[in-house]
Amino acid sequence: MFIGVYELDNKKYFNIYYKCKAGYEEWFKDTFSPECKYETLDFKISGKNYRERQASLEDIAKEWANYFCDFEWSYGELAIISAWFYDNAKKYGLIKVFEENAII
């Protein structure tokens, strides 16, 4: 899953895209114009060991909290994002930290 934010004709759009053929096709269709400016937040946890993956998850949460949470998400989209953070916070022992920082 990744969040894509793009600007086209001086209007900003955002959406959740899934890493599957249909998700990528939708992203490419949305950002096809050469005048399109875009940014993404990839919800991919990386690292060779537990601590590195934990730090990667924290970085994703910080980026979400600092930039992407400012958009007007629907309740369904927020539920998807919150569930993703909750499931992964449970794996990496970050539930208390995420609750304190209003990530979940």
pTM: 0.87
High-pLDDT (> 70) share of the chain, %: 100
Confidence of residue 80 (pLDDT cuts 50, 70, 90): very high
Which of 54, 56, 66 has its CA nearest to residue 102?
A: 66
Identify the burial level of 63 via C-beta atoms within 10 angstroms of its C-beta, where 0-12 means exposed, 13-18 middle and 19 or more buried: middle
Q: So what's the pLDDT on residue 75?
A: 92
Confidence of residue 68 (pLDDT cuts 50, 70, 90): confident
Mean pLDDT of the 7-18 span: 90
Distances 92 to 4, 28, 31, 86 between C-alpha atoms, Å: 25, 33, 34, 10
Q: What is the pLDDT of residues 25-47, one digit of tens each?
A: 999 999 998 889 999 999 999 99
